[in-house]
Chain A
Amino acid sequence: MQLISTYFSFIYIGLLLLTIAFYVCSKQKARRWVLLIFSYLFFYAVSGKLIIYLLLSTLSVHHFGLWLSVVQSEGKKQLKTVEKEQKKALSAKIQKKQDLIMAFAAILHIGILAVLKYSPFAAANINTVLRLLHVDHAVQIPEFLVPIGISFYTLQAVSYLFDVYRKTIPADRNLLRLALFMSFYPQIMEGPICRYSDTAESLWKAEKISYSNFVAGSQRIVFGIMKKLIVADRLNLFVEDVFLHYENYDGFVIVIAVVGYTLQLYMDFSGTMDVALGTAQIFGVKLPENFRRPLFSKTISEFWQRWHITLGTWLKDYIFYPVSMSKPVTKLTMRARKRFGNHAGSLIGGSIALFCVWIANGIWHGAGWHYIFFGMYHFAFILCGNIIQPTVIKTSQTLHIDRKSLPYRIMQIIRTDILVCIGELFFRAHGLRAGVAMFRKMFTDFTLETLRDGTLFTFGMDQKDYLVIGVFVIFLLVIGIIQEKGIVIRDRINSQNIALRLAIYYVVIMIIIIFGAYGRGYIPVDPIYANF
């Protein structure tokens, strides 16, 4: 995969300007074509011939959607014609057919993703087991070229099929509308993972570009570029080097790198989302938000309601609920409730579904044990949180601790951020073993010597770079606090007089140009989540 920082390159900006130009010059019906053609052009530019996977996936989704729809409508007709006593049997038969189609379609799409992305990992593990069993045979699977965004558009495809299967939405007969929903270029590489009901219609409508949407979308794009270029890319050399050669550094440097990586990932991913959502907004399309100031979360559970929101809701809707509502789990929950009471009983059933969600979350992020560990790490904290929550409430009531007080909330936020950072350590580490070694070093080899001897300034970052990051993080913190109070900063800016607005724009643009980590001495960094 070759991205060259695609959302932040001149290719993207050029493509966006061209799309806008063609879009503006086209009539309403042609505008949707403009979006579709430029989406495929973009995908071809970053994936080349691997575009075939997207095409096949779109055709398959269209076909299976229609098949499900035909079975549903024919079943409905048949049910009207049969006697009352035969209805139950026929209904079960129709449902079974739908189940089979749905299962086949889901296996096909997730299967392609699994083969392309996970087969080398699976083969490596099988070979390890074979070696342990002293079997003189090794499974050999070639490394496949993986199209960019496959993890994202596959989830969109599966969600569409599930929604048709559940009759939440009708199957779309229009292949082009479906193709646009699957391929819309601002979201294809890193999401957000959209539902058909969220975006397909507004994309197809292809409304005129309004002045307010253009301004608001551009503001958001600039804000995203700011996050990525000023903080995320600046931290890259430092984070990369420490995670690759952690054995050369002490615990203090590792702690800084772990915090640095968490910041880098947040700025990179949320910055890319700002660009994606801003671009879509220009065309009058409202993509779902993927971030809601996650580092202000008070618990790990809340963190996942604020971080990569669309993945969380996807896993909730298509894994958590189906598993927790499945017959065996419902039965288990009922039994457990009777035996251990309501709270514990529900926890047991819910934990099984939660476990499935976090295994899926870990694996979705990549083929590696450290990703699975990352999922299990969060599962453990969310489960523990659920278990001890009543005790914590009771204890704080007994000790007269106001859980809504500011110091208590700040303490919760700091605790959650520390846990999140540790999770990101394992997420970023080069394998689980390296993650464990780094974690251990943070405690066993902690010294402030490197702060004194200047090691921190040997990663292509000097004091001034750290200062820029610090100032920008404080700036974002202030913005975050204001947003938490429900104030929409962009609305405030837009309500100012023209001179002040222009001054703000100039300052922001010049800050990006001067303090951005680009050009000589910096290597363009591909958006991190595009590789997942």
Chain B
Amino acid sequence: MNTYAKRIITALLFTAGLVCLLIITSRITMPKSNEPDCGMEEVVANAIMAENPDTVDAVFLGDSETYCTFVPLQIWNDTGFTSYIIGTSEQTLDYSYTILERAFSRHSLKMVFLEANAIYRKESKEVPYAKLCELFPVFSYHDRWKSLNRNDFDLTATTEYSWTDYNKGYRYSDEIVPSTNADYVIPTDEKSRITPQNRYYVKKIKELCDSNGAELVLISVPSTTNFTYKRHNGTTELADELGCEFIDMNLLPDEMQLDWTKDTRDKGNHLNYAGATKVTAWMSEYLKNKGLMKSRKDDPDCAGWYRDVMYFEKYKLNGEKL
């Protein structure tokens, strides 16, 4: 065998060995439970995996706007529809895709709402890193070396999703920091540019929804700091291109009835609970009219939702964490 062939074989063997090591260490470092103190990434959003299988019908994808705007338990109270927020702080679309794919593996979603702010977020420069994390979770969970125990070395063990978020992803805040920019909707014909990478991921999300029989809706939630008419125009064009609906709540002030002196927690960037209930009430009506989901109030698999409503009410009253 000549030197050249020898080197190629060595390189291949080396790579194969490395892949094996990465698989083994990924198995070891993966959290064995989704409890918040077990090191699971984006623990609240990922808790959708702990909901009973096929019990969630709609999800909200995107950044912090999603978990400040929609109250799934209110939608449940109003309609009996089950929804969950899988939006995460500063979510980039590559992660939106990953977490949506994960959600589809557990639930037969009927509707997927993608908050448009994420479409204009600076694209993630570390998409290869995210891909690597998907392939080999050790890149995500390597820091768990600090808390490894004997169970972690059981290479057959998988992650057990047992912890659920009784808020279904919503993050409650009754803080009021008024916005001084109530007249923020200024029409223009200009369009914001959507980067090719973000455009690519929205298309992929649409394809994922189509292949799973879910309807994708682009949505822009009320925000005096994030909304621009240029973005509205850009998203409208993208929605037309993809053949999906786009709801811009910023252009529906009469329906939303928001009072920007009381309904925001941080000067118009995010809504507080008072603002969220108004927007959610509209969303409940919208979902009813859409007719794609059915009430699950009599579904025994969703019995836990009644308990979660009780917890949430208790939390609102006493600030008790459960």
- Residue positions of A touching B, CB distance < 8 A: 4, 9-11, 14, 211, 462, 464, 498, 502, 505-506, 509-510, 513-516, 519-521
Contact = CB atoms under 8 A, between A and B. Distances in A.
Given A514-B29, A514-B138, 7 more contacts: A10-B129, A498-B10, A502-B17, A514-B142, A514-B145, A515-B142, A519-B143
B140 interface: yes
A510 B139 contact: no
13 contacts: A10-B129, A11-B125, A14-B128, A498-B10, A506-B21, A509-B18, A513-B25, A513-B139, A514-B138, A519-B133, A519-B140, A520-B140, A521-B143
B128 A10 contact: yes
Contact of B143 (A9, A11, A520): A520
A516 B126 CA distance: 16
Nearest to B24: A510
Interface string B4-34: 0001001001100110011001000100000
Contacts of A502: 10, 13-14, 17
A521 B140 CA distance: 10
A4 B122 CA distance: 13
Nearest to B22: A513
Given A14-B128, A506-B17, A506-B18, A211 B7 contact: yes
Q: How many interface residues does chain B have, given as a range?
A: 20 to 34
B146 interface: yes
Nearest to B42: A520
B255 interface: no
A462 B146 CA distance: 9
Nearest to A502: B14
B136 to A, nearest CB: 9
Interface of B: 7, 10, 13-14, 17-18, 21-22, 25, 29, 41, 125-126, 128-129, 133, 138-140, 142-143, 145-146
B142 A513 contact: yes
A9 B17 CA distance: 24
Contacts of B126: 9-10
B129 A510 contact: no
Contacts of B139: 513, 519
A4 B146 contact: no
Nearest to A522: B143
B17 A513 contact: no
A519 B41 CA distance: 11
A513 B138 contact: yes
Contacts of B17: 502, 506
Contacts of B21: 506, 510
Contact of A464 (B10, B14, B138, B146): B146
Contacts of B143: 519-521
A520 B128 contact: no
A513 B132 CA distance: 12
B146 A510 contact: no
A126 B166 CA distance: 61
A519 B17 CA distance: 24
Contacts of B22: 513
B228 to A, nearest CB: 23
Contact of A505 (B14, B29, B41, B146): B14
Contacts of A14: 128
A462 B147 CA distance: 12
A264 to B, nearest CB: 19
Contact of B41 (A9, A516, A520): A520
Contacts of A514: 25, 29, 138, 142, 145
Contacts of B138: 513-514
A514 B24 CA distance: 12
A510 B26 CA distance: 11
A150 B321 CA distance: 54
A482 to B, nearest CB: 25
A519 B142 contact: yes
Contacts of A515: 142, 145
Nearest to A498: B10
The 6 closest A-B pairs by CB, nearest first: A10-B128, A464-B146, A514-B142, A514-B145, A10-B129, A502-B14
Contact of A516 (B10, B128, B140, B142): B142
A509 B18 CA distance: 9
A379 B129 CA distance: 45
A330 to B, nearest CB: 55
Contacts of B14: 502, 505
Contacts of B25: 510, 513-514
B95 to A, nearest CB: 12
B148 to A, nearest CB: 10
A219 B308 CA distance: 55
B67 to A, nearest CB: 18
A4 B127 CA distance: 14
B183 to A, nearest CB: 33
A521 B18 CA distance: 25
Nearest to B13: A502
- Which one of B17, B29, B140, B143 has the highest number of Cβ atoms from chain A below 10 Å of its Cβ? B143
A464 B143 CA distance: 11
A504 to B, nearest CB: 12
Contacts of A4: 125
Contacts of B146: 462, 464
Nearest to A14: B128
A506 B138 CA distance: 15
A501 to B, nearest CB: 9
Contacts of B128: 10, 14
Nearest to B147: A464
Contacts of B133: 519
A211 B129 CA distance: 28
Nearest to A516: B142
Contacts of B29: 514
A502 B29 CA distance: 23
Contacts of A10: 125-126, 128-129
Contacts of A462: 146
A11 B13 CA distance: 26
Nearest to B7: A211
A11 B146 CA distance: 29
B18 to A, nearest CB: 7
A509 B22 CA distance: 10
A9 B145 contact: no
B196 to A, nearest CB: 16
Nearest to B10: A498
A4 B140 CA distance: 18
